[in-house]
Amino acid sequence: MEQLITFANNHPLLCAAWAAIVFMIVVISIRIKLSPVKQVSPQELTFLVNKNDGLVIDIRAEKDFKVSHILDSVYFATDKANNNDFTSLEKYKDKPIIVVCTAGLTASKIANQLLKAGFNQVNLLKGGMNAWLAAGLPTAKSKK
């Protein structure tokens, strides 16, 4: 314990940076837990689609979607979301919607926009398409 105090006295900036990082991790973890947008695993995504008639919307670049996407997922351009144009998804307002991006980082913005537009069950694929592929789950290619 004495060494820790000595280290803290000799390196106050490092200790402050460490404390700030720990604080940010705690805050982000709490925000994720309290968020109305839930993060789901690839297995939970499969359950939502098969048992609850969920819809998977893929917001990656269209060329990436054409190369490989989750079976029965729908391509959704981020431009539409930025303009709050969710008319093509209106019939899914009361069904689970799972937003998929490449790594699970950019989907939260669109998921929050869907919530504001009145969609009730919005989810994110935790880890994005990378997690789906890492789990060895099937993908499809667009014929277009």
Instruction: Indicate which residue of 48, 55, 101, 122 is catalytic.
Output: 101
The distance of Cα 92 from the centroid of its chain, to the nearest Å, equals: 18
Tell whether the model's pLDDT for residue 144 goes beyond 70.
no
Whole-number pLDDT of residue 143? 67
| pLDDT tens column, 18-40 | 999 999 999 988 887 788 888 99
Distance CA(63)–CA(26), nearest Å, equals: 37
* Closest of 93, 89, 110, 98 to residue 42, by C-alpha: 98
Mean per-residue pLDDT, 115-124: 91
Q: Which alpha helices (H) appear in 12-54, and where do they start and end? A: 12-34, 42-52
Tell whether the model's pLDDT for residue 142 goes beyond 90.
no
Distance CA(73)–CA(69), nearest Å, equals: 7
| pLDDT tens column, 43-95 | 999 999 999 999 999 999 999 999 999 999 999 988 888 888 888 888 888 89
Q: List the domain boundaries for the chain.
A: 2-32, 37-140
* Closest of 28, 65, 61, 62 to residue 139, by C-alpha: 65
- Burial track 61-96 (b if 16+ CB lie within 10 A, e otherwise): eeeebeeebbeebeebebebbeeeebeebeebeebb
Distance CA(144)–CA(142), nearest Å, equals: 5
pTM for this one? 0.77
Fold of 37-140: Oxidized Rhodanese; domain 1 (3.40.250)
Based on the residue annotation, tell me whether 101 is a catalytic residue of this protein: yes
